[in-house]
Amino acid sequence: MEKLSNPKETIQVLQKHQFQFKKKFGQNFLIDPHVLDKIVDAAQVTEEDFVLEIGPGIGTLTQYLCERSRQVLAVEIDKNLIPVLRDTLSPYTNVEVLQGDILKQDIQHIADTYNGGNRIKVVANLPYYITTPIIMELFESRVPLANVTVMVQKEVADRMRAEPGTKDCGALSLAVQYYAEPYIAAFVPPNCFIPRPNVGSAVVRLDCRTHAPVEVEDEKLLFRLIRASFNQRRKTLQNGIANSSELPFSKAEAAEAIGRAGFDSNIRGEKLGLPEFARLADVMSQMRVRSKEDI
Ligand code: SAM
């Protein structure tokens, strides 16, 4: 069997299995061999590696990963794709397919089972409707990760590497930069997919850090604070904190924390970078400890 990475083979497989695309699962399948090579190159996959693939589709990228790695586990949500994958991946002995939602998998267990608990590589042409939740889940669950190489909307790739204080910078930028160093490997036009998406795409490799770039007492509080600031980016930081359902601080307490961290009372969260958010989160942790002591 020829590899799937061209329009002719892809259409043949889709017709053979009478497959209907499902928009709700963000299904846009790759049909360009150069892009597939670029993704696998960017992921720096070697024969020793275990790779977790999210959303294999009909197995196009999976075939490339099987040829370059020791073992692949591919997690696909769409039940109708399982028989297709059984067919297209039949020449490969180093792949397993798991049907399910990636957001419901125990990835630590996957790393333990397939990679002796060592750092894993994740590769995906991501469904665009849940790009951010998937990336945040991978990072926040503290799974051992070496790198995460993903195809995302170009605009999301720009946000991932945006500098603090710029218009593209948001909660995703700061989270990605806290956990990883982003590197853009390629820009990919819509005609490399079937069906064509409405937006341009980019391949991004996130090299996961072994040490955080800033020290903070309470990581969860740091990310609640970052989300609160960018949820209402037109409001002052003080109002963002006070209005957040994730943070137990009144407007007066928010003002006190902002003052103690050395910021102007009218500052907006979008002006701050990771070191400044970490400083404020530490002040807020101390205030919370003190208020518990007072009770
Ligand atoms: N990897 C294939 C390729 O490059 O041609 C398909 C990529 S397509 C953009 C995204 C794939 O992710 C689809 O097969 C879709 O069914 C699957 N998917 C969507 N949501 C998912 C989820 N929550 N968990 C696992 N797979 C999901």
The number of helix segments (H) and strand segments (E) in the chain equals 12, 9
CA 103 to ligand 1: nearest atom: 23
pLDDT at 294: 59
Instruction: State whether residue 187 is helix, strand or coil.
Output: strand
Cβ atoms 107, 169 nearer than 8 A: no
Spell out the long-range contacts of 183-192 with Cβ–Cβ below 8 A and sequence spacing 24 or more. 183/42, 183/207, 184/157, 185/38, 185/39, 185/41, 185/42, 185/149, 186/35, 186/38, 186/39, 186/42, 187/154, 188/32, 188/35, 188/151, 192/30, 192/31, 192/32, 192/35
Contact 219, 159 (CB under 8 A): no
Model confidence pLDDT, tens digit, residues 126-168: 999 999 999 999 998 889 999 999 999 999 999 999 998 899 9
Record the pTM.
Answer: 0.93
Q: Return the SS3 of 206.
A: strand
Q: 56 in ligand 1 pocket by Cβ < 6 Å?
A: yes
Query: CA 279, CA 228: separation in Å to the nearest integer?
Result: 16
For residues 214 and 276, the answer to whether their CB atoms sit within 8 Å is no
| Assigned token pair, 164 | 């603090």
pLDDT per residue as tens digits for the range 192-233:
999 999 999 999 999 999 999 999 999 999 999 999 999 887
Residue 188 Cβ < 6 Å to ligand 1: no
54 lines ligand 1 (CB under 6 A): yes
Phi and psi of 280, rounded to 5°?
Answer: -65, -40
Q: How confident is the model at residue 292 (pLDDT cuts 50, 70, 90)?
A: low
Q: Candidates 3, 10, 65, 77: which one to mutate for ligand 1, based on the most atoms within 8 Å of Cβ?
A: 77
E strands present in the chain = 29-30, 50-54, 71-76, 95-99, 120-125, 145-153, 180-188, 193-194, 201-208
Res 4 pLDDT > 80: yes
The number of residues making up the chain comes to 295
Q: Which of 165-169, 178-182, 290-294 has the lowest mean pLDDT?
A: 290-294
pLDDT for 78-113, tens place per residue? 999 999 999 999 999 999 999 999 999 999 999 999
In this prediction, residues 42-63 reach a mean pLDDT of 98
Cα(250) to centroid(ligand 1), Å:
42
